[in-house]
Amino acid sequence: MKLTLLALITSLSVSNATITKDKRTFAVLRFTNKQLTIGRADPIVNPGGPSPHLHHVLGGSAFSVNATGKDLQGSKCSTAKVKGDNSAYWFPSLFFRDPKSGKYESVEIYYAQVYYFFEPTNDQTKAFPLGLNMVVGDAMTRSPPRGGATGNLDPSKGPVNPVRWTCPRKTNVPPSWQATSDGTKAGIPNTHNKAEGVGFPDANCDEFASPLRADVHFPSCYNPDAGLTNFRTNMAYPTNTGDGRLDCPKGWIHVPHLFFEVYWNTPLFSNRWEPGKGKQPFVLANGDATGYSLHGDFLSGWDESLLQHIIDTCDAGTLGMDKCSGLYYGVNNDDACTIPSPVSEVISGVMDALPGNNPISGWFYGPV
């Protein structure tokens, strides 16, 4: 009876929705805890064993080194506030390298959230199929993106740049990124947004409740011919059709546009380094001192009918997806959903080396 009611709500919302969509709607998915777990696990890129570097993971409790969408669907709990989302969301952990001792200290998440954008389009936006694998960013690069610090996500307008850093500050004097930087020795500023750039900023991000933020935009066109797990070729970014709408290639499926916002508690280290000297101290878990290799992964564990209902009916915006109407399964308020690290090793505190023994590289540290 309950599932029938949900199906009825969903079918009515779909029947009342036109395929053509004139404006963006969105809802921010929030989480009940800072993370589900931290560990060297990546069931998409490195299934079956430890991944080369550490990740912070949010989402369903069935996450593991071998997790699939079906596994996640059977999660006993999830850190997502919307019940019915057992997906897994993960990204590289962040470390502080002490300029005096050379030792590494783990940086805690301040908080993380995921925007679900439902773009204006001539397509019908559909729910993620169960088990869809998506990966954005290049964990191996130490080079600036071809498009510089622009925020372009439309391949018809030039190189796509899906990963950036945001540094909210009380004042932008001196600038967080030097205007003359070409990216080879320091990050590059976005000329249209002083608080945003590519590569780590050389400044303390000290705005109230808004420390250093990692930004990751996912593509929203899925190629069913490539398949759910072929993460290198199964996704693409939509293009502007000239009428303000973003469309996918013919035969592809338009899915929600995910945007990770991950705030790191970098102010805890603000009195231990000197900004503006070309020696910013933060490093990603893969050993990247540039920040160019920022990346993100997504493995869908959604109840597809529920997500379709949200796509078709909800525009809760920053109030949060948990404020959408018709969330039949309700919301999660339990902040106790955690699992042990998938790999038994020291991953926090003061360390001589990064987990996985990744050497530090990029900018003043030299190439990989």
Give, for all 368 residues of the chain, the pLDDT tens digit: 344 444 444 444 443 344 678 999 999 999 999 999 999 999 999 999 999 999 999 999 999 999 999 999 999 999 999 999 999 999 999 999 999 999 999 999 999 999 999 999 999 999 999 999 999 999 999 999 998 998 899 999 999 999 999 999 998 888 999 999 999 999 999 999 999 999 999 999 999 889 999 999 999 999 999 999 999 999 999 999 988 899 999 999 999 999 999 999 999 999 999 999 999 999 999 999 999 999 999 999 999 999 999 999 999 999 999 999 999 999 999 889 999 999 999 999 999 999 999 999 999 998 87
Question: Is-contact 256 125, C-beta < 8 A?
Answer: yes
Which pTM was predicted? 0.94
- Using left for φ > 0, alpha for ψ between -120 and 50, and beta otherwise, residue 320 falls in left
Tokens of residue 73, six digits? 């669907």
Distance CA 147, CA 161 (A): 7
Distance CA 81, CA 325 (A): 14
Task: Measure the CA dihedral 120/224/128/54, to 10°.
Answer: -110
Helix, strand, or coil (residue 215): strand
